[in-house]
Structure 1
Amino acid sequence: MAKFGVITVSDTRTLLTDSGGEYLITTLAKAGHNITVRHIVKDDTNQIQAAFANCDAQPLDAILVTGGTGIALRDVTIEALMPKMAKTIPGFGEYFRQLSLAEVGLKALASRAEAGVSAHAHLVYLLPGSPNACQTALEQIILPDLDHLLKELTKNVHPS
């Protein structure tokens, strides 16, 4: 099973009130995956990047970041972390917004959810903070495609 890091970005959430992060951790554990690191940080570029660097330096398969992906001026997760991606996975955000459109209507257009691959070859998902959005992303996209993407990350691209 895969090893995950989870980062919650919020000015108001704590371990007791982090429903989105808790949903991710509980669901991943029920699916047999390991959560080896968890951070809760403020909507602050430096704090987000520090938590991400900590996760990216660990032997993980994927990093899930929840929160700070909206269009409010305080939402800086995308700006903080997209420059840290070695590659992007544009289809993730496109498909997430398509699924969300069916669930919440045009509100989905304000989501800036993204995915990519870090410099240390970790899958990275930047998700909204709501438990419903975390559920949609995890159950309908991330978990069903996890084995495929992990295989793609580790395949030999330069056969001898």
Structure 2
Amino acid sequence: MSIPHQNSQKKSINCAVVTISDTRTFETDISGKIAQEILINANHKIINYQIVKDEPHEIKSLLVNLASNEALNCIIFSGGTGISPRDNTYDIISRILEKTLSGFGEIFRYLSYQEIGSRAISSRAIGGVYNGKIVFSLPGSQNAVKLGLEKLIIPELNHLVEEINKG
């Protein structure tokens, strides 16, 4: 398989990692730690890491606040993408994105299906652009975070940031 956009320079991207959870703490947030580790190992920088309750107003306020940070290029959310009554992340992010990367969610679910079978249909992973920032929202499981970052986000992050920064 060929890799598109091979000429994209591998620059360090400034990222925020946000875990949406009513129960996780900085000590117990393994998925957040995995996300940070994968980004750092790919030579990107974590300039913000937070855990936020799965409350619509908190998620929206945090996204708007983070997206106003000129130094930030990418915001990665994990958690709150299912269909339970407390899962609000997808609903908030999908309403606020200015452009959606439909292929991200589609391919993520396809790759998830290969690992977990039909349960992948309940994933509402999404990606897109808001206020000049790349935004991804992944399920909160460790495997989902690892899959999304390693297979989809890391290989395309530099290219995506280049694209949104074109004049």
Place the TM-score, normalised by the shorter chain, in its bin.
Answer: over 0.9
Q: Which runs of 4+ in 1 moved over 3 A?
A: none
CA-CA distance at 1:139 after TM superposition: 0.3
1:95-125 Cα deviation digits (max 9, x unpaired): 000000001111111000000100x210000
Unaligned runs of 5+ residues in structure 2 are 1-11
Q: CA RMSD in A?
A: 0.9
Unaligned runs of 5+ residues in structure 1 are none
Which structure 2 residues correspond to residues 31-110 of structure 1 after superposition, within 5 A? 31-58=42-69, 59-110=71-122
* TM-score of the aligned structures, taking structure 1 as reference length: 0.94
- Cα distance between partner residues in 2 of 1:33 and 1:148: 14
Percent of matched pairs sharing the same residue? 41
The number of residues matched between the two structures is 155
* TM-score of the aligned structures, taking structure 2 as reference length: 0.90
Which structure 2 residues correspond to residues 1-160 of structure 1 after superposition, within 5 A? 1-58=12-69, 59-118=71-130, 120-156=131-167
1:4-62 Cα deviation digits (max 9, x unpaired): 01111001100011111110011111221111011111110011112212211112111
